[in-house]
Structure formats: C-alpha cells, structure tokens
C-alpha cells in the first residue's frame, strides 16, 4: 500500500454499507380511496410502520364516522401480512365543532386535524376561509393536546406562487401561534429556509415535516429540458438555497423536523393534462431518497432520529419496536404503478438509485 493510499484510508472514514434503524413512520400521506388506495398502499406499507393519513378525499373526511369508515377501508386494502397502522386526521372546515374534534381524539379515531386554507391545493375547496374564526376549535385542541397540521400557503391569487408559503407564515401562521400559545402545530412540507427558522423558533410546540422531493429538486428542476408535470406539487419547489436549507434542517439532528413524504398520487392522465394536478408520488422511493440525502450530507448517524423518533415523540406515540435495514445497493426503480386503465408515475421512477430498502423486522 502506498503512503498516499494509507493517508486516504486514514482520512476517509469507511462508508457504511448498510444501516439498521427503528422502523420509521410517515407523518404525511395521501392514500386516496378505491382503486388508487389499493394500488399505492403497498408501497407506503413496505417502508413505514405507521402513516398519518390526509383527509382530502372527495368529499373530505370531516366526521368521526367518516374517519372510522376510511380507516376500515385502509385496513381492508393492506397487503397480506402487513401490520401498517393508519393514523387518521380530521379535515377542518368552517363548520367543524370543538365537540366533534374532541370526540374523535378521545375515541382514538384521529390523532390530529388538518388545516387547508380554502382552495390552497387539491380538494381543499371545503377548507377554512377564516382561520381566526375557528378559535373555539383551536382552544379545544390546545386543551386536549391535539396537533393541528397546516398546509401553509396563502390563497390570495394576487400573491406570486413562489411567495405563498412566506406570506402565509407572516399573515396567518405567526398570528395563530401568538393567539394560541399552547397549540401543537405541524407545519407540513416546509419548503423555505425562513419557514424552517420559524419552526425552530417555536420548537417547544411546533414541528415541521420535510418531503423527499423537496430535498432533491428545486424550482429549476420543474423546467429541466421542458415542463415536468410529475414534479409539480404544492407548495411548489423553491430556489436552490431553500433546498440546501431543507437538507440542513432534515440532517441537523434537531428534534423539530421529521418525515412527512406528502406522497400524493395522481393518474398520469391528470398530470399530463391541460391543467396538471398538484402532487408527487414519492411513496415508492421515499426511504431510498431520504437515506441518500443523509449519506450525501455525512449524517447517516442522524437518520434514525429524523425517520423514526422525532415525529413519534412530537405526537406522543410509542416508538416502533421493529427495525428496517437500508442498504447501499444499487437498484432500478419501477417507472409507474398501474391503476385502472392508466398509471401513476413514480418519483425517480426508471432511475437506478444507490440505496435500497432491505429486511423489515416487525
Ligand atoms: O401537491 C400536493 N398534492 N399538495 C397538497 O397539498 C395536496 C396534494 C394532493 O392531495 O394531491
Ligand atoms: Zn399533502
């Protein structure tokens, strides 16, 4: 061995060929219903022990009874032998009552409520038109310790789409945090450096989820060689410096950040359309993407906290007992998943990824 080789070996720590972590949870999943649920659930269930299920069905899941029935449909769609646990949420509307919110929480039907500003995104037209008006609901949630999960984008059509998150934070989120000092808040799918800082500043009772796609694409990716409908989601990817800030936040070890994939499947026909639906189907490549990012940032030792500990602690859930192995093993990714007579395009589908999901031990 030459001196240079010896030096290189000493200077470069050996790269791990695999890591074994506690089984992770996905704190933000759109599983849809019917044929789509059947098609996409196996991918989330193969990677995650539990998922916080978004309620933006048509019609939305606004009652305890509807959430219970939806949970049954998810159980029925689980692949043979799967122990995946859906954690349900309530879709807040202008008509939501504190008693219904508390009933679902106390009965163990839902773990949180989702706040969509009316019209902000896919199936958000039943959402909340006036956030301060929902004060009685938030007061009850503060009292019972139930988190509100927020899609943080301004719905003012005059606001530039790349500024909608920033405007929401200033005009709606910060005032809400001030009005309800004990309310637990998850800022979903953080996409800017400033939002990550707001989460940090309120970390005693606020947290932020970070998607896999926002860690690997920026707004320029949406136009790489032409318009890329399958990378379009809301909040839309921002400038490169924001992507770098998100990578830093996710891999920092700070307990206020955790996984929320926002896997949001749409049929190819709805994506490759005159008016493309918002959503990235990241469920099939979520862990492969996250672990690659942690590896690139030399933070593999912090991956378990982000993937499997921080979120559960924030929600007050027991940590999962089983383990999952992630291996540095190249594997080709399937391009699309069949649904009815069309398909859903997989995020990073058709690529060969450097990390693979290995053995899951329940
Ligand atoms: O891109 C998105 N798709 N963002 C959302 O907030 C909703 C989601 C969906 O349900 O398709
Ligand atoms: Zn979502």
Pocket test for ligand 1, best of 234, 275, 283 (most atoms within 8 A of CB): 234
pLDDT band at 15 (very low <50, low <70, confident <90, very high): confident
54-90 residue pLDDT tens: 999 999 999 999 999 999 999 999 999 999 999 999 9
| Close Cβ partners of 313 (under 8 Å, ≥ 6 residues apart) | 255, 319
- Residue 10: pLDDT above 60? no
Backbone angles phi, psi at 161, to 5 degrees: -60, -30
**Contact partners, residue 162, CB within 8 Å, separation at least 6:** 219, 236, 238, 239
- Which pLDDT score, from 0 to 100, does residue 77 have? 98
pLDDT at 216 > cutoff 50 = yes
Structural domain spans, the chain:
25-320
Question: What kind and span of H or E run contains 143?
Answer: helix 135-144
Active site residues: 262
Decide which of 3.20.20.140, 1.10.760.10, 1.25.50.10, 2.30.30.100 is the CATH code for 25-320.
Answer: 3.20.20.140
- Percent of the chain having pLDDT more than 90? 94
- The residue to mutate among 154, 155, 233, having the most atoms of ligand 1 within 8 angstroms of its beta carbon, is 233
Give the integer Cα–Cα distance in Å for 165 and 167: 5
pLDDT per residue as tens digits for the range 266-277? 999 999 999 999
| pLDDT, mean over the chain | 96
Q: Count CA atoms within 13 Å of residue 149 on its CB side.
A: 26
Is 4 a residue whose pLDDT tops 60? no
**Beta-carbon count within 10 A of 226 CB:** 7
Instruction: Give the angle subtended at the CA of 98 by the CAs of 92 and 102, to the nearest 5°.
Output: 95
Whether residue 12 is predicted with pLDDT greater than 80 in this model: the reply is no
Distance 288 CA to ligand 1 centre (A): 21
Contacts (Cβ under 8 Å, ≥6 apart) of 48: 23, 24, 25, 26, 29, 84, 286
Q: In which region does residue 350 sit, left (phi positive, over 0), alpha (psi from -120 to 50) or beta (all else)?
A: left
Residues, CB-to-ion distance under 5 Å, ligand 2: 262
DSSP β-ladder status, 331-332 and 323-327: unpaired
Residue in the block written with tokens 């200077």:
11
Phi, psi of 314 (to 5 degrees): -60, -40
Taking a C-beta distance cutoff of 8 angstroms, is the pair 348, 333 a contact? Answer: yes
Other C-beta atoms lying within 10 Å of the C-beta of residue 129: 13
Pocket of ligand 1 (CB under 6 A): 30, 56, 121-122, 151, 233-234, 264, 278-279
CA of 12 to the centre of ligand 2 (A): 39
Give the separation between CA 218 and CA 237, rounded to whole angstroms.
Answer: 5
Residue 326 pLDDT exceeds 50: yes
Across the range 128-137, mean pLDDT stands at: 98
Judged against a pLDDT cut of 60, whether residue 40 lies above it is answered with yes
pLDDT band of residue 13 (cuts 50, 70, 90) is low
For the whole model, what pTM was predicted?
A: 0.96
* Amino acid 122: pLDDT: 84
Position with higher pLDDT, 11 vs 243: 243
Residue range 194-207: average pLDDT? 98
Q: Whose CA is nearest to atom 10 of ligand 1?
A: 122
Nearest CA owner, ligand 1 atom 2? 279
DSSP 117: B
**Residue pLDDT, tens place only, 46-55:** 999 999 999 9
CA of 146 to the centre of ligand 2 (A): 19
- CA dist., res. 108 & res. 102, Å (int): 10
């Amino acid at each position: 061995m030459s001196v240079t080789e010896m030096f290189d070996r000493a200077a470069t720590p050996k790269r791990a060929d695999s890591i074994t972590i506690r089984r992770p949870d996905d704190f933000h999943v759109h599983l849809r219903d019917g044929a789509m649920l059947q098609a996409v659930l196996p991918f989330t269930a193969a990677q995650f022990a539990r998922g916080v299920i978004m309620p933006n069905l048509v019609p939305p899941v606004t009652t305890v009874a509807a959430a219970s029935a939806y949970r049954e449909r998810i159980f029925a769609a689980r692949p043979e032998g799967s122990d995946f646990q859906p954690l349900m949420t309530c879709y807040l509307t202008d008509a939501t009552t504190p008693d219904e919110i508390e009933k679902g929480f106390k009965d163990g039907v839902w773990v949180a409520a989702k706040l969509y500003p009316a019209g902000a995104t896919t199936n958000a037209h039943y959402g909340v038109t006036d956030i301060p008006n929902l004060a009685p609901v938030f007061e009850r949630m503060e009292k019972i310790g139930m988190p509100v999960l927020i899609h943080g984008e301004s719905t003012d059509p005059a606001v530039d789409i790349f500024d909608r998150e920033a405007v929401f934070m200033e005009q709606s989120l910060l005032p809400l945090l001030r009005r309800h000092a004990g309310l637990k808040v998850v800022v979903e799918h953080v996409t800017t450096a400033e939002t990550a800082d707001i989460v940090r500043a309120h970390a005693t009772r606020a947290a932020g989820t970070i998607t896999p796609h926002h860690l690997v694409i920026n707004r320029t990716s949406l136009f790489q060689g032409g318009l890329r409908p399958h990378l379009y989601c809301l909040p839309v990817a921002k400038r490169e410096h924001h992507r770098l800030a998100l990578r830093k936040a996710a891999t920092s070890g700070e307990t206020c950040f955790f996984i929320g994939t926002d896997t949001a499947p749409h049929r190819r026909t709805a994506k490759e359309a005159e008016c493309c639906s918002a959503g990235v189907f990241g469920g099939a490549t979520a862990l492969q993407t996250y672990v690659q990012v942690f590896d690139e940032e030399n933070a593999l030792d912090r991956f378990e906290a982000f993937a499997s500990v921080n979120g559960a602690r924030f929600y007050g859930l027991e940590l999962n007992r089983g383990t999952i192995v992630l291996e540095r093993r190249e594997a080709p990714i399937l391009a699309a998943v069949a649904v009815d007579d069309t398909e859903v395009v997989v995020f990073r589908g058709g690529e060969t990824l450097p990390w693979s999901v290995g053995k899951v031990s329940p």
